[in-house]
Structure 1
Amino acid sequence: MVEVEQTKQPPHILLVPYPAQGHMLALLDLAHLLSLRSLSLTIVVTPANLHLLTPLLSKSPSIQTLSLPFPSNHGNPPGSENSKGRPPDSFGTLMQEITGLHDPLLSWIQSQSQQPITAIISDFFHGWTQALAEKLGIPRIVFSPSGVLGSAVLHSLFRRMPQRPDPSDDEYVLSFPAIPNSPSYAWRKLSMLYRTYKEGNPVSEAVKQNFLFNLNSWGIVTNTFKALEAAYLDHPLEDLGFKRVWAVGPLAPSDGVQDRGGSNTVSSADLATWLDKFSEGSVLYVSFGSQAILGPAQAAVLAAALEKSGVQFIWAMSESTVIPEGFAERMANRGIVIKGWAPQVAILRNRAVGWFLTHCGWNSILEATAAGVSMLTWPITADQYVNAKLIVEDAGTAVSAWEGYAVPDEDVLVRVITEAVGQRWNAIREQSKKMQRMAEEAVMEGGSSCKDLEELVQEFWKMKAR
């Protein structure tokens, strides 16, 4: 690597996170790593999201924040400035609303004569910042909170605009021949952002333009690592505009087990005490993330399957999830039900936890991978079907359990859960431990992700020197 002479004033990087938990936390983890490398950082945030930066600012006090008023709520309750509490199909509306930050952000950047912005790193839902960067004559780097495969599939859809012959055929299989291994997915498994696209609709057209803007960026930095997605990192991908991709993951809290995003109804210490009663790998952790909420019928079948299987478990769920009356009390000796935020990283890193029943959100996958925990997949929406296929077929660290919002077959869930905690899939457990070691090596000095991060930092110095 060619070292760039570093002047006294470091590059000043503007970070624009998308206001959704799964997007924001990973970018904040990247911000921490960049701050350790003596870059000057400013993070754009709206007032109702400012509290989410508190953990980062407490450990990286040199990072500055720029709080700008949220542009519009379009009838949403005051303070609804992120995806939490909004329906899953409102992502497009939120993406459109937040483009209103363009003008105030442009004015602020133009006022920074003492410490001019060197480059912008913004979430891939902030394609509008590409036009902002071009107007300012500075590079913009896309931050992908998804894996490389998930990001390539999503951008391919809006780049190629594929259609199904029969508009009612949700099982129509769409292939992606420009992506290595030519992955294919049923129509219903594609991103809702694309499936709900309507030509001429202002929100739909804004979403489409968002992803097309990303293809004009300087490059892409993503929360993944070489060993997990080698096939998609070996060469620039056509469906990502042949852009340079820096794989810097798995990104994680600096202390490894930090609780983020909310207050826990059960403390990490109490959970650790409870988990320590069980043998290694014997506990199943269940969580569907901060966005997906199981319906009462789905939750009832899952509860029955957990009860019938006889396994020890921790089930973290949304406060609005409805479970059968008396279930938590009946399971008190071998299960814990957490309503609200759970310390997921700490749970997964406990030796007693061997399997994770997950919706396959990318952050959850990386946290399980970094902990060496095998997964049972139950994808529901967004990039989750792509992620599930990746870890089942490519990585070999997961087994399919169920999918979608359909009410599951209780017998199927009982069988999958019982076999997972039993001995049938020991090879998958071994592969999960192997992938854990490769994840650890990736972020160590000399590892693939560490090298990519250092190369990214050097690019910023080169940008500043131009």
Structure 2
Amino acid sequence: MVQLAKLFVQHGVAVTVALVEPPVKSLDFSAVVARAAASNPSVTFHVLPPPPPPPASTADSSSSDIIIVKMFQFLAAMNASLRDFLVSRMPSVDALVLDMFCADALDVAAELELPAYTFFPSGAGDLAVFLNMPGTRASMKTSFKELGDAVLSFPGAPPLKASDLPPDCSSDSERCKAFLRMFERMPEANGILVNTFESLETCAVRALREGLCLSDRATPPVYCIGPLVSGGGAEKEHECLRWLDAQPDNSVVFLSFGSMGTFPKKQLEQIAIGLEKSGQRFLWVVRTPPGDDHKFGEPLPEPDLEELLPDGFLERTKERGLVVKSWAPQVDVLHHRATGAFVTHCGWNSTLEGITAGQPLLCWPLYAEQRLNKVFIVEEMKLGVEMRGYNEELVTEEEVETKVRWVMESDDGNKLRQRVAAAKHAGAEALKDGGSSHTAFVHFLEDVDSSVHS
């Protein structure tokens, strides 16, 4: 949302980001808001007052299913605060841009007769599939989950397995129903802003624009305005950046699996052995595996690398490898001249950060829509390869060694690198004046203006 807000500012449009504080109080929230405000003085940040607490429930609120359902209920309950805030700012509010999880706020926009747009921070391929899912599920006699590895066909997407769909919306649980309702409401918006660029996802964009992803209603305008990614620039130079400075160009494999990506000790050991046997330089971010008593959403303690990794691994590989605890400045690492490949969980932010840095992707999806992203990255964009075994019990040391060697040493790995370099260039061109994403954002602003004055 901050990257999108900065785009409005670049086009001379005043923007306010209205924020929802999580119901579980966190010191991190206030710190993040303060940093964002300090770094973006042209953007106004406003934290909405919370709704009254819901009635006490006897349900086990520690399960992720209950947490997701309560999240949607909490966001819907924020409508009153949002309405009050917007009314207090009238008539200076021209339009509302909603995070995709805030679909119920479309009711506020309708009540106040404001044009409302959805910001979809993932890719056009995901959007094409998600818009299609509620109608497809309604026509089926079973859930997507029950189909297992059956191959499905969605407009704008290559053939994919039912098991590639996000678990969050594949069964008939209350959690999944909440996600399908969100996808069903998204087309009610005046338009959808997508964090991608046209040449990266031509098939999906075409299907969306031709209305092939919705059978029962018109698809609103889709504006591809990306790639919107963080500019990096770690406040304090991280130790790993100094380590990278001492490595040859394009020689280091970077392994990082997002803010929630963790592995059990057994899998960490396989990765370590594979990296050691590959003979390649590596920079690896390791997070602590969650214990049985870990509650969803709670921060994890710092990892004990000596306990988690094979005996002597850190000592044996210290000349060509660095293991970092919990976090690294990913954008800065990806853009460093020494980095030569990216082992990623295929979250969309990480995917775009890798592509815009020109890094070939070794795809190891873990959760949410990441398996779906993997399909598009490997089959459609052809900017990555799959780490086989991610959907089974283990990615073996042999697979880690083979894929790391392949991407760093083989002719096919070099061809992949060339394709990513071309995509990096295309993404940069899309954002320039006259580029596809710049033009799409200008059209979006013109459409907003037309809605306001109609």
Q: Does 1:360 align with 2:346?
A: yes
Matched, 1:324 2:313: no
Distance 1:328 1:120, change over 3 A: farther
Counterpart in 2 of 1:380? Answer: 366
Instruction: Say if 1:360 and 1:107 are closer, same or farther in 2 by CA, change over 3 A.
Output: same
Query: Does 1:464 pair with 2:442?
Result: no
The answer on 1:452 being equivalent to 2:421 is no
Q: 1:186 to 1:461 in 2, by over 3 A?
A: same
* 1:190-215 deviations in Å (ceiling 9; x for gaps): 112212333xx4x5444332221111
1:183 aligns with 2:169: no
Q: Give the secondary-structure state (helix, strand or coil) at the position aligned to 1:62.
A: coil
Q: After TM superposition, give the deviation of residue 216 of structure 1 in Å.
A: 1.0
Question: Residue 224 of structure 2 is aligned with which of 234, 241, 247?
Answer: 247
Matched with 1:142 is: 118
For residue 280 of structure 2, the aligned residue among 311, 316, 319 is: 311
Determine if contact 2:238/2:329 at 8 Å carries over to the other structure: no
**1:125 is paired with a residue of what secondary structure?**
helix
Given that 2:146 and 2:171 are in contact with CA atoms closer than 8 Å, whether structure 1 keeps it comes out as no
1:86 deviation in Å? 8.8
Between structures 1 and 2, the one with greater helix share: 2
AA in 2 matched with 1:111: S
- Counterpart selection for 1:195 from 143, 158, 170: 170
Alignment match of 1:410 (pick from 380, 397, 400): 397
Give CA-to-partner distance per residue, 1:247-300, whole Å, 9 cap, x none: 1111123xx3234xxx8xxx5354333213222221100011112222222222
Q: Secondary structure at the match of 2:38?
A: helix
The AA in structure 2 aligned to 1:174 is L
SS of 1:246's equivalent in the other structure is strand
1:126: Cα distance to partner?
A: 1.4
| 1:293–1:86 distance in 2 versus 1, CA, 3 Å | farther
**How many residue pairs end up in the alignment?**
418
Q: After the TM superposition, which residues 190-229 of structure 1 pair with which residues of structure 2 at under 5 Å, given as runs?
A: 190-198=165-173, 201=174, 203-229=175-201
The residue that corresponds to 1:295 in the other structure is 264
Instruction: Letter of the 1:146 partner, please give it.
Output: S
What is the CA RMSD across the aligned residues, in angstroms?
2.7
Residue 110, structure 1, aligned to residue 87, structure 2: yes
TM-score by length of 2: 0.84
d(CA) in 2 for partners of 1:107 and 1:231?
Answer: 41
Q: Could you tell me how far apart the structure 1 residues matched to 2:141 and 2:315 are?
A: 49
Offset at 1:307? Answer: 1.6
TM-score (norm: length of structure 1): 0.82
1:321-362 deviations in Å (ceiling 9; x for gaps): 673255334432211212223110000001111110011011
1:369 aligns with 2:355: yes
**What is the CA-CA distance between 1:442 and the residue it aligns to?**
0.8
Within 1, Cα distance between the matches of 2:211 and 2:102?
21
Question: CA 1:238/1:89 → structure 2, altered by over 3 Å: closer, same or farther?
Answer: farther
2:192 counterpart letter in structure 1: I
Q: Report deviation, 1:90.
A: 4.0
Instruction: Supply the distance in 1 between the matched residues of 2:63 and 2:322 (Cα, whole angstroms).
Output: 27
**Please, which runs of 5 or more residues in structure 2 have no aligned partner?**
289-299
Q: Please list every run of 5 or more consecutive structure 1 residues that lacks an aligned counterpart in the other structure.
A: 1-26
The 1:378–1:92 alpha-carbon spacing in structure 2 relative to 1, beyond 3 Å, is farther
Contact 2:170 2:176 in 1 (8 A): no
Helix, strand or coil at the partner of 1:315:
strand
Partner residue in 2 for 1:58: 38
Give, in whole Å, the separation in 1 of the partners of 2:247 and 2:375: 31
